[in-house]
Amino acid sequence: MIKSETVKQILEHYRVIWALSHAQGVMGWDSETYMPEEGIKARAIARAEISQLIQKFMLDEKFVKLIEKAEEEKDLTDVERGIVRVLKRDLKYYQRVPPEVVKEFAKVTSEAFVAWRNAKEKARFGLFAPYLEKIVELSRVIAEKLGYKEHPYDALLDLYEEELTSRDVEEVFSTLEPGVRRLLSKLEARGWPRRHPLEEMPYERPRVEAAIFEVLELLGYPKARFRVDVSPHPFTVGIGAPYDVRITVRFRGVDFREPLFSALHEYGHALYELNIDESLAFTPVGTGVSLGVHESQSRFMENIVGRSREFTGKIAPILRRHLPLEQYSDEDLYYYFNVVRPSLIRTEADEVTYNLHILLRYRLERLMIAGEVKVADLPELWNNEIDRLLGVRPRNDAEGVLQDIHWAHGSIGYFPTYTLGNVVAAMIYYKHGRVKQHIADGDFASIKEYLREKIHRWGAVYPPKELLTRSFGEAYNAEYLVKYLEEKYR
């Protein structure tokens, strides 16, 4: 697939950068799973040094000249153009953001994770606030160095979703917010279930773990390239995609729906990485194209597939083999999976209210980066805004401003991609047209092949908007999501 001699030389140099990134992936996964808490003292330094080393290799003069030379070549293949495009984006970051900022950002975010974890356990935002202040300060510096047309937040959005702007996000939410509010009013009037007794049912972790693995087997997960671990916040990491992809889940001991759907969600992410064409491995395009497109795969698997009545019927026998559910019918389980109510925790939110949680975070992030709010004021602002959007109010910081890990990772500009994922997942559902029938038939192979052909196999060869337009004829149309929710909960 690589014909250009220039691009071949680029990939030879890039292999070292890939290897360093691979090491960062392993260390990041270990930090959130098995590393002893005191290990952060050494890990933070190691990751910071590797981040600086990656920047050094990226800015190697010969490497930069090769990329510039390849950019001028007229007969590159789509894959070759994708490689050059992705590397140009990376170069923009490393050329404009000073090495000392890259190093400091890696160091403070490594330390911030431990601080966030302790703050969340104690429900004390003050323990995390100094780290977040530094992260916001560094993020502003990064935004200014990268440049933007209208708002500094746009520079950060672009890091996670190529060419995404605040205008795009506002357009999506201008459709979603009134649509969701309208649907919530209808559901309340009709008495859609807001509670289910299974939410209070305690469970034994080994039993739920066994059920999850059996559900994953039903979906056909590749055991030799995939593993499941436990962490405070579920995540997926493609350490060596498509050969080594790992997910985590969380077990609280009550409400087995949470770890089950976390596993389905992260499996959607993992499936994307596992299905990238092997010819793209070890290259800059051998990964998911953006977080929004990535999230579309997790939300598709979690909600479109996982919370459907058809899938509920398929996994009900599995769940009954491992859990005391004999008194509950398939219909009972379906309503348990699809309870709708305003809630405090984003990761536990139903698919109707979920995007209002993202709207809250998007607005606060944009204000933080603009310098219009102080970090110290976030808990009160958070509580007031979620009360306005959903009519609920956190009892403490752990239920509110501390619930997500993303700011500890320095991932400001990340949250809107969750809503983009929901939007694209609904688009895929309608563009495919036979998802429910495939689920009812147990034909998950056909669903995975459709996703592979339309999204997965291409990795980052095409920019996200171009990929979606090539595959589905349009990008980020929120009307599909409103239609999906209205039809499902009719």
Asked if residue 265 belongs to a known ligand binding site, the reply is yes
- Own/partner contacts of 17-25, CB < 8 Å, gap of 24 or more, are 17/54, 17/57, 17/58, 18/282, 18/283, 20/50, 20/53, 20/54, 20/57, 21/54, 22/239, 22/240, 23/50, 24/50, 24/51, 24/54, 25/237, 25/238, 25/239, 25/240
Whether 479 sits among the annotated catalytic residues: the reply is no
Give the SS3 label for residue 263: helix
From residue 130, give the alpha-carbon distance in Å to each of 123, 137, 152, 408, 444. 15, 11, 22, 11, 47
Give the SS3 label for residue 194: coil
Q: What is the rounded distance in angstroms from the CA atom of residue 134 to the CA atom of residue 138?
A: 6
Q: What is the rounded distance in angstroms from the CA atom of residue 118 to the CA atom of residue 405?
A: 12
Asked if residue 269 belongs to a known ligand binding site, the reply is yes
Tokens (6 digits) for 429: 């559902």
From residue 443, give the alpha-carbon distance in Å to each of 83, 137, 305. 35, 50, 12
Q: What share of the chain is helix, strand, coil (3-state, %, to 5)?
A: 70, 5, 30
Q: What is the rounded distance in angstroms from the CA atom of residue 78 to the CA atom of residue 83?
A: 9
- For residue 206, the one-letter residue type is P
Q: What is the rounded distance in angstroms from the CA atom of residue 116 to the CA atom of residue 113?
A: 5
Sign of the Cα torsion 192, 263, 472, 87 reads positive
Q: What is the rounded distance in angstroms from the CA atom of residue 68 to the CA atom of residue 47?
A: 29
Asked if residue 196 belongs to a known ligand binding site, the reply is no
Sign of the Cα torsion 242, 77, 161, 113 reads positive
Tokens (6 digits) for 450: 């459709």
Residue-level length of the chain: 490
Determine which one of 80, 266, 273, 399 is catalytic: 266
Helix or strand run (H / E) with residue 159? helix 152-160
As separate numbers, helices (DSSP H) first and strands (DSSP E) second, the chain gives 20, 3
What single DSSP character describes residue 401? T
- Catalytically annotated residues: 266
Indicate the annotated binding residues for Zn(2+). 265, 269, 295
Annotated binding site: 265, 269, 295
